[in-house]
Amino acid sequence: MTTTSPASVDLLADDVEQDLRASVRKALERHAPVERLNALYDGADEVTAPLWSAFVGLGLPGLLVPEELGGAGASAREAAAVLEELGRAAAPSPFLTSSVVATTALVALGDTTILPALASGEQTAALLVRPTARRHGPAALTTVGLPADVLLLPDGDALYAVRGAGVTPVGSLDMTRPLAEVDLAGAERTLVSPDAAAAIDRALLTGAGLLAAEQVGVARWALETTVAYLKERRQFGRVVGGFQAIKHRLADLYAEVEQADAAARYAAATLATDDPDAPVAVAVAAAFCGEAATHAAEEAVQLHGGLGMTWEHPAHLHLKRAKADELLQGTPEAHRAALAVLVNLPGPEA
């Protein structure tokens, strides 16, 4: 096992990450313009399928799949670069749920049955982890990343692949990351592994760590877009960005986004090398980046003035993505509580 430390890890993007980021951004600019994202709220999805096809062409579904199973054999750092661009665009994609979370669990289990189809992008998968109110009986669960061809169902320590489950969309704040209720009654189940607890934990840890990269993408978009707008917007005969109070807010926001970026990059680096510090790094990144993304998106809405409140401006898309992401893999409060345990902080009774 390779270990890293904050002092030795290089957090700067290498040429591979930069080239990958540029390719992903080009695909997003082509297939996920604002007007198509807004149409999701009217029930018209002209984004997900074409964008996924473009991702398949780039080999992104198999990024974390070993080469012998048809994947790229890349690391969490490359996956983080993809997710940061997805955050910048606030675009819908099963990349996180299928190509990161589900794939990580299956790779850890040494699966050779499902992974090849995931690597090629022919199929997608989603991990079911959250029971909901039992409106349809004890088999009802809620998940994101649907529709998916294969659902991975934890049952005790075992993991099953489920096909043919009933799926009912439910209301979601962020329609670029929709929710669905799953009814497993009558669905076909196939045992993937009788002892999958460690693999599931690894998948959830990786998902939380790389979600932080997406949150950084949201935050950086909000910062850069707001700065560009305030350099041009004039009020009382002056450029708005020249007001002292605005400068202070932007400086504070810049520092917050850079700190979030460093935390997310370090989390991805520890995941990429199986570093023992990964749980701590992920907890720090997940706790900090979630709130940073929401704060940056809120600042974007407010500092754009009336324009930021309009449906046509993408600020609302990024604010909704930030709020949805803040809950997706555990709240910042939950990650701080986990961090306290990991670093042996005394409880309130101490």
Tens digits of residue pLDDT in 15-74: 889 999 999 999 999 999 999 999 999 889 999 999 999 999 999 999 999 999 989 999
Q: Are 254 and 196 in contact (CB under 8 A)?
A: no
**What pLDDT score does 10 carry?**
78
Backbone angles phi, psi at 239, to 5 degrees: -65, 130
* pLDDT over 90, % of the chain: 69
Mean pLDDT of the chain: 89
pLDDT tens string 244-303: 788 899 999 999 999 999 999 999 999 999 999 999 999 999 999 999 999 999 999 998
* 119, pLDDT greater than 70: yes
Which residue do the tokens 């080999």 mark?
59
Q: What pLDDT is stored for residue 239 in this prediction?
A: 72
Distances from the Cα of 250 to the Cα of 75, 89, 226, 257, angstroms: 33, 21, 9, 10
pTM of model > 0.85:
yes
Q: What is the CA radius of gyration of the chain?
A: 20
Output the six-digit token pair for 56: 């398949």
**Annotated domain spans of the chain:** 198-342
User: For the domain 198-342, what is the CATH superfamily, name and number?
Assistant: Butyryl-CoA Dehydrogenase, subunit A, domain 3 (1.20.140.10)
The pLDDT score that the predictor gives to residue 2 is: 44
Contact 197, 227 (CB under 8 A): no
Structure token digits, residue 299:
């600042």
pLDDT of residue 137: 34
Give yes or no for residue 324 having a pLDDT over 50.
Answer: yes
Residue pLDDT, tens place only, 191-231: 999 999 999 999 999 999 999 999 999 999 999 999 998 88
Task: Flag whether pLDDT at 238 surpasses 80.
Answer: no
C-alpha separations of 263 from 28, 86, 280, 287 in Å: 25, 18, 11, 10
